[in-house]
Amino acid sequence: MLEFAWPYVFAALPLPLLAWWLLPAYRERRASVQVPFFGQLAAAVGQTPQRGAVVMRRLAVQTIVAAIAWVLIVAALARPQWVGGPITRDVSARDLMLAVDLSGSMEQADFRAPDGQMQQRLAGVKQVVSAFVARRHGDRIGLILFGTKAYVQVPFTQDLATVQMLLDQTQVAMAGQQTAIGDAIGLAIKAFEQSKAQQKVLILLTDGNDTASRVPPAHAADIAHQRGLVIYTIGIGDPHAKGENRVDLDALKTVADTTKGQFFRAEDAAQLETIYGDIDKLAPVKLQTLSWRPRLPLFHWPLGVAIVLVLGLWALLLARDVILSFSPRRRGGEREQGLHGELVEP
User: Worst-scoring range by mean pLDDT, 44-48, 251-255, 306-310, 319-323?
Assistant: 44-48
3 state SS of 18? helix
Q: What angle do CA 223, 228, 234 make, to 5 degrees?
A: 75
Stretch 332-346: mean pLDDT: 46
75 DSSP β-pair partners: none
Sign of CA dihedral 263, 265, 104, 154: negative
User: Worst-scoring range by mean pLDDT, 8-12, 55-59, 224-228?
Assistant: 55-59
Angstrom CA distances, 13 to 7, 8, 66, 72, 81, stand at: 12, 10, 12, 10, 19
CA 168 to CA 145: how far, in whole Å? 12
Whether 244 has a pLDDT exceeding 70, the answer reads no
Q: Give which of 278, 219, 298, 280 is closest to 92, Cα–Cα.
A: 280
Looking at per-residue confidence, does 5 or 279 come out higher?
5
* CATH architecture of residue range(s) 89-292: 3-Layer(aba) Sandwich (3.40)
Whether 9 has a pLDDT exceeding 50, the answer reads yes
- pLDDT band, residue 116 (cuts 50/70/90): confident
CA 241 to CA 173: how far, in whole Å? 19
Supply the pLDDT for residue 55: 62
Could you tell me the residue ranges of all domains in the chain?
2-84+296-340, 89-292
Sheet bearing 295-297, strands edge to edge: 2-4, 80-83, 295-297
Supply the pLDDT for residue 344: 52
Supply the pLDDT for residue 58: 74
Give the pLDDT confidence of 292-309 residue by residue, as tens digits: 788 889 999 999 999 999
User: Measured in whole angstroms, how far is the alpha carbon of residue 15 from the centre of its chain?
Assistant: 39
The predicted model scores a pTM of 0.60
Q: What is the DSSP letter of 242?
A: -
Alpha-carbon Rg for the chain, nearest whole angstrom, is 43
- Kindly write down the DSSP assignment for every residue of 262-280, as one continuous string: EEEE-SBHHHHHHHHHHHH
User: Measured in whole angstroms, how far is the alpha carbon of residue 154 from the centre of its chain?
Assistant: 23
The pLDDT mean for the chain works out to 83
Query: Counting runs of H as helices and runs of E as strands, what totals does the chain give?
Result: 11, 13
Q: Give which of 293, 301, 297, 238 is closest to 265, Cα–Cα.
A: 238
Side chain identity at residue 57, one-letter code: R
